[in-house]
Copies of this chain bind each other. A is one copy, B any other.
């Protein structure tokens, strides 16, 4: 199974400000049609996210991921939002096992950074697909949480956009 951490970050490696604020992405004025998001999303069979990311999506008001299966990794009980095809399972290993049984070919690890590190640590993450934004934030939530060791990457794709965004896809060695 391909498991891709597809995410946007600032040039200095932050995916959100402290507290989860991602309004800096809107302020950059990069419209969704300029990001290749829909092309990526169409390749995804299912999603996994951490609790804070899930709550961020829930607070957004409408479930944006249709009926694609979604796991929320959390030790707490998660209440499914209306329209959300929530699956059972709270650890990367749980998710991998169930997703394999469901014949999921491509799982999107939505984030945040701590969840991506958990998938890395469990040796389940296969790809990183980073939209590198032309902005510095200086502080915030890191692209990854702490990692047990350095992780070497193979670059597999690179695309530049008029907005200044650079998309880089890497396979994890």
Contact = CB atoms under 8 A, between A and B. Distances in A.
Interface residues of A, number: 39
A24 interface: yes
Copies in the complex: 2
A108 interface: no
Contact of A136 (B14, B27, B147): B147
A13 B135 contact: no
Interface of A: 9-14, 24, 27-28, 117, 120, 128, 130, 132, 134-139, 142-148, 150-155, 158, 160, 164, 166, 168, 170
Given A11-B130, A170-B11, A136 B164 contact: no
A143 B142 CA distance: 12
